[in-house]
Amino acid sequence: MEYVYSAMLLHSAGQKITEENVKKVLTAAGAKPDNARIKALVASLDGVNIEEAIKTSAAVPVAAAPAQAAEEPPAEEKKEKKKEKKEEVSEEEAAAGLSALFD
């Protein structure tokens, strides 16, 4: 994350996002710069309108926290659902067995 933050800091300061500048920011922050990550970051940001990307990402709604879980169905309903699933599987197997008769 510190690599992305360094790029955002450089952008907000009006500086070019270059490998050298990203290294300086990371070093000043006390992080150990990884040249491969810096190169990948700079390459991926080449030609990207960062201001537009920030606007579109800020417009994305954040998912609301899930509501309290509904009550679980009684145990009888759970058993019925399991039985229905088993019957479906057995019907499929039966159909597969019948098709073998006509091969």
Whether pLDDT at 39 is above 60:
yes
What was the pLDDT predicted at 13? 93
Confidence (pTM): 0.54
Residue 35, domain extent: 2-59
Q: What is the CATH number of the domain that holds 43?
A: 1.10.10.1410
Whether pLDDT at 73 is above 80:
no
Whether pLDDT at 4 is above 80:
yes
Choose among 41, 10, 43: nearest CA to 28: 10
Give the total number of structural domains in the chain.
Answer: 1
**Does residue 81 fall inside a structural domain?**
no
Helix axes 2-12, 19-28, angle to 10 degrees: 110
**How much is the average pLDDT of 70-87?**
60
